[in-house]
Structure 1
Amino acid sequence: MTERIKCAIVGASGYTGQELLRLLLVHPQVELVAATSRQEAGKPLSAVFPRFRKLPGAELPFMEPDPDAIAATGAQAAFLALPHGVAAEIATALLERGLKVIDLSADFRLSDADVYEEFYGHPHPAPALLDEAVYGLPEIRAGAIREARLVASPGCYPTSILLPLIPLLEASLIDPATIVANSMSGVSGAGKKADVSLLFCECNESVRAYGIPKHRHLSEIEQELSIAAGESVVITFIPHLVPVNSGIATSTTAKLTEGIDPAAIGEALESAYGDAAFVRLLGKGGCADTKNVTRTNFIDIGWAHDARTGRVILTSAEDNLGKGAGSQAVQSFNLIFGLPETAGLQTA
């Protein structure tokens, strides 16, 4: 058997950290050697998360997030499931110690430190690394991810918006100025924190928009759409909180470019993702449903053309903790280490 790759999860006790634990504890090519949590340090993983009892590696104790201690475990790669502003410091320290880093925070998603400060409210903590970081959309940047030592794993909302739109913008099929994206996310997207607005009685039987008109994820969405379009793209993005644990449903509309046959939409998506392991195309008239993607690394994409308005309607669904976070990060890890892209991720 090929020697397994030693991995660390930094910030392993949150929702995304728990998803990474779920995936990496059973990944056939991974040996989990470090899982950090200041709050749970010293406790076995199985004591904090009883669902993992009797899995190989589940008795590993949580440890403090000390870069020297993490490196001393022999870890070759580290997944950072930390808040923005916190991840950059430990990412820098782990890179200096020779680890590959897959960061699930927003700290390295933006190439411009000024844009980061505009959207996140403080100067970038490690601007020297921004040029090196690879934005980790595996379906778009697989080649760059394979060569990377620092991957910035995309946000959950951006993944659901970017994957349907990028092929259409690259082919000039839609007018970038007319893009409007409406997304709905499960409550786990807010992270594991004490917040009155996230209590069961505040969320249950209720749906609300939030973060308007300038949600932080707009920064990376517009950055990546601008690259695809070859021009500056500014969109309207309206996120909503819905009373489910996980899952994101996004509906995006844009004007079809004049003179374009609507069938070109389906052809562009098929050309881009027909062979993609984790993109499932629902075709014309298909409406993506979160129940079909939760606890998986799949994103489902459907489309329609409204002849009355001349607009294209794109629907997508993913798990915000999966394709929008933990499992997409593992997909990038597989690419970095030359493993099959699907390793440890083929779940239905």
Structure 2
Amino acid sequence: MNVGILGATGYTGIELIRILSKHPKVKIVYLSSKNFESKLISEVYPGIQGYNDLILEEVDLEKVVKNCDVIFNTLPPHFSFEIAGMIKDNGKRLIDLGAAFRFDNFDNFKRWYNFKEDLEYNEYQRVYGLTELSRDLIKESKIIGNPGCYPTSVILGLAPLFKNGLIEKNSIVVDSKSGVSGAGHDPKYNNLYAECNENLKPYNVTKHRHIPEMEQELSKIANSQVNLIFTPHLVPMTRGILSTIYCQLKSIDNVQRIYNLYKEFYQNDHFIKICKPGTYPSTKNVYGSNYCHIGFEIEERTNTLIVMSVIDNLVKGASGQAIQNMNLMFGLPENKGLDLVPIYP
């Protein structure tokens, strides 16, 4: 497969290059960059010298659509919509790592992402690409809205509970902590070393853009409207997300039965690992990999189930999941090119 990556020098872009450079069925033929046009990608990121030495080009959508079987887009939404219009009838595939194709309701997308243009959103036959929950749809789709990093950790953590009707649907509190790379490659004041180091801070409390995405997908699983409280935090580490999720159980339960339920639900999912009762996941155990580890505990006094879900925000939370979806779209094993052993320590 010939692959093009738009926005190749951002963190998700370089992660795509890192993984795809060793994918046996992929040839990367096009890389774009606004800030580093005409440079070799290996000049910007010397660590991939010898693995990929393509010249970074300005964005040329006609060229990337003509020469590539699958396009990974990390650029803003107007590029997403333009590419989607160009690939409608020519058999090409688009995996969008932004938010443009994550929503069922275009008004929700416009409101949460401050998007002003009007367009016929339903003309784009898109699929929300949380691989473990939408395999059959992903296989047949031309356009994938790759999930956000926080929603990946939260939805995977909650899906078995809603599927089995075990928790109250409007009692959920999510406390998530993310490494600084989640804010992207562009320099920002709040991400300066002196601002982040030895510091832990919440941000976008009650108004994070991933809230409607989580509620949308969880409501589908529950077959009724789900609302949750979500508070993200920035922690002084590079990679990783830990989501701690508090749920009210409908009846008295025990950890062993919850463990068995999760094991059964994810029994065919290569990248989901369920922690044995009494053990809890940590971000270091998925660092640099496409795995999601899930653990839980029951607070018996209040009958509260506490779910803990960890991912690498740049891999399972972004580029790794995008490649997992690409594999499905082209009839390859999901783990092709993705069997990355986590890095420790």
Note the alpha carbon deviations across 1:207-226, whole angstroms, 9 max, x for none. 00001112100011000010
Alignment correspondent of 1:344? 337
Q: Distance in 1 between matches of 2:122 and 2:15?
A: 27
Alignment correspondent of 2:54? 60
Select 1:252's aligned residue among 242, 245, 256.
245
Q: Give the superposition deviation at 1:118.
A: 2.1
Q: Contact (CA 8 Å) 2:311, 2:317: kept in 1 or not?
A: yes
Residues 118-197 of structure 1: pairs in structure 2 closer than 5 A: 118-123=111-116, 126-129=119-122, 132-197=125-190
User: TM-score by structure 1 length?
Assistant: 0.94
Q: Give the counterpart letter for 1:301 in structure 2.
A: I
Q: Distance in 1 between matches of 2:89 and 2:62?
A: 10
Q: Give the counterpart letter for 1:133 in structure 2.
A: R
Q: Give the superposition deviation at 1:25.
A: 1.1
CA gap of 1:157–1:180, structure 2 versus 1, over 3 A, is same
Q: Give SS of 1:177's match.
A: coil
Q: Give the counterpart letter for 2:302 in structure 1.
A: T
Identity of aligned residues (%): 38
Alignment correspondent of 1:39? 35
Note the alpha carbon deviations across 1:16-61, whole angstroms, 9 max, x for none. 0010010111111100011111222221111111111112xx2211
Q: Contact (CA 8 Å) 1:251, 1:316: kept in 2 or not?
A: yes
Note the alpha carbon deviations across 1:307-330, whole angstroms, 9 max, x for none. 111000100110000000000000
Alignment correspondent of 1:299? 292
Is 1:267 aligned with 2:260? yes
Q: Give the superposition deviation at 1:285.
A: 2.6
Q: Give the superposition deviation at 1:125.
A: 5.7
Q: Give the superposition deviation at 1:95.
A: 4.2
Q: Give the counterpart letter for 1:59 in structure 2.
A: D
CA gap of 1:86–1:297, structure 2 versus 1, over 3 A, is same
Q: Give the counterpart letter for 1:29 in structure 2.
A: K
CA gap of 1:45–1:131, structure 2 versus 1, over 3 A, is closer
Q: Give the counterpart letter for 1:200 in structure 2.
A: Y
Structure 2: runs of 5 or more not aligned? none
Count residues in correspondence.
Answer: 341
Superposed CA RMSD: 1.6
CA gap of 1:269–1:343, structure 2 versus 1, over 3 A, is same
Structure 1: runs of 5 or more not aligned? none
Q: Distance in 1 between matches of 2:203 and 2:155?
A: 20
Q: Distance in 2 between matches of 1:19 and 1:49?
A: 11
Alignment correspondent of 1:206? 199
User: TM-score by structure 2 length?
Assistant: 0.95
